[in-house]
Amino acid sequence: MFFKVVIVLVACHKVTALFEGDIKVPYELVAEEYSGVLADNLLKGGYLEDSYLTFGTDPKRIRRWDDGVVPFTFSPSSTFTNEEKELITSELSYMSLITNDLLVFKMKDDNDPNYISFDNSGVNGCWSYMGMVGGAQTIHLGEGCVNSGTVTHETMHALGFWHEHSRPDRDEYIQIFTENIKPTLLSQFEVRKSIDSMGTAYDLKSIMHYGNRVFSVNGKVTLSSLEFPDMKLGGGVLTDMDIEQLKLLYGGVNLPSAAPTFLDKCGEVNRHKRCKGVGGCRWSKRTKKCIKKKN
């Protein structure tokens, strides 16, 4: 178990014209999952990509970073201080550490066609693309966004994670108070039917969960836990469940408390998809797991 002390945590400044406040996604994904009207409005505002072209052949599939390697750089137009660059780099290093290097963040070089570009120029706000979109993709960290919680939250989007409150099973755990939400932002609380949480439990404290009063029109609560109504939702650090999902998405590795599988017999798989066990194991491209070799 790793413990991390967060010295400063500033709430993320959501940009209301973006999908769910801080995500850039393709037009068709919003149109198919929600409505064409919402997609049209966001596209007109310049906050949606106009096609799936960078998302591969399957429009519903969010692309992961190849072998868990995520090159990054700081945009030439950015004005981050050295301290801010240090904080961002430190957060990325921590994510590598807690995933046992299933995720590896490295400074971009000339051989990296796909990479994250951190920027703070132009309009304010915190936002990211969803998954690896190909080429240079921005994580924008405007005024008030360069803090541990927000850097990690936006990076999680870039790694392929949606907001926790969008899960198909969310109504079993939280209540949405539509009367307290700004009418123009009700669509930000829709459920995404295609989200796959890989069998993990709903996480009220996830770094990807909305806070209790996000997008409130009157300062009152917009969402709360059904079982624990007074609980503060979300948080500024990765929870054990967040970490488990990272490991599942980028390596198929469960937490130690998970039930043993044949992975235990063949040894763990590293980020290069090579089985660490003895010669009797091989990497299966079909199942994406370590399996026993045939005799």
74: domain CATH number is 3.40.390.10
pLDDT(60) > 60: no
Within this chain, do residues 34 and 137 fall inside the same structural domain, yes or no? yes
pLDDT(114) > 80: yes
Cα→Cα distances 165→15, 193, 219, 248, Å: 18, 12, 19, 19
pLDDT(131) > 80: yes
Within this chain, do residues 28 and 145 fall inside the same structural domain, yes or no? yes
- Looking at residue 66, its pLDDT comes to 86
What's the predicted TM-score (pTM) here?
0.70
Counting the structural domains of the chain, the total is 3
DSSP designation for 211: P
Give the tens place of pLDDT for each residue, 230-258. Answer: 999 999 999 999 999 999 888 854 433 33
Rounded distance between C-alpha atoms, residue 70 and residue 64, angstroms: 10
Within this chain, do residues 197 and 284 fall inside the same structural domain, yes or no? no
Whether 254 is covered by a domain: the verdict is: no
| Greater pLDDT, 233 or 268 | 233
Within this chain, do residues 107 and 174 fall inside the same structural domain, yes or no? no
Within this chain, do residues 290 and 210 fall inside the same structural domain, yes or no? no
Q: What is the mean pLDDT of residues 196-212?
A: 91
Whether 201 is covered by a domain: the verdict is: yes
Whether 248 is covered by a domain: the verdict is: no
110: its two tokens? 């000339």
Whether 164 is covered by a domain: the verdict is: no
Within this chain, do residues 213 and 179 fall inside the same structural domain, yes or no? yes
Within this chain, do residues 209 and 152 fall inside the same structural domain, yes or no? no
Whether 107 is covered by a domain: the verdict is: yes
Is the CB of residue 72 less than 8 Å from the CB of residue 107? Answer: yes
Within this chain, do residues 183 and 118 fall inside the same structural domain, yes or no? no
Whether 221 is covered by a domain: the verdict is: yes
Residue among 118, 128, 145, 114 nearest 25 (CA)? 128
Last residue of a domain, one of 159, 191, 209: 159
| Greater pLDDT, 256 or 119 | 119
Catalytic hit among 28, 33, 84, 154: 154
Whether 208 is covered by a domain: the verdict is: yes
154 among known catalytic residues: yes
Q: Provide the domain limits for residue 63.
A: 23-159
Within this chain, do residues 199 and 287 fall inside the same structural domain, yes or no? no
Last residue of a domain, one of 159, 183, 202: 159
- Looking at residue 69, its pLDDT comes to 94
Within this chain, do residues 131 and 60 fall inside the same structural domain, yes or no? yes
Percent of the chain with pLDDT over 90: 46
Within this chain, do residues 220 and 273 fall inside the same structural domain, yes or no? no
Within this chain, do residues 95 and 135 fall inside the same structural domain, yes or no? yes
- Looking at residue 123, its pLDDT comes to 76
* 271 — pLDDT class (breaks 50, 70, 90): very low
pLDDT(153) > 60: yes
Give the tens place of pLDDT for each residue, 156-200. Answer: 999 988 889 988 899 999 999 999 999 888 878 888 777 878 888
Give the tens place of pLDDT for each residue, 21-45. Answer: 555 555 555 565 555 565 566 555 5
The residues, any chain, with a CB within 8 Å of residue 86's CB and separated by 6 or more, are none
276-282 CB contacts, 8 Å cutoff, 24+ apart: none
- Looking at residue 45, its pLDDT comes to 54
Last residue of a domain, one of 206, 225, 244: 225
* 263 — pLDDT class (breaks 50, 70, 90): very low
Whether 252 is covered by a domain: the verdict is: no
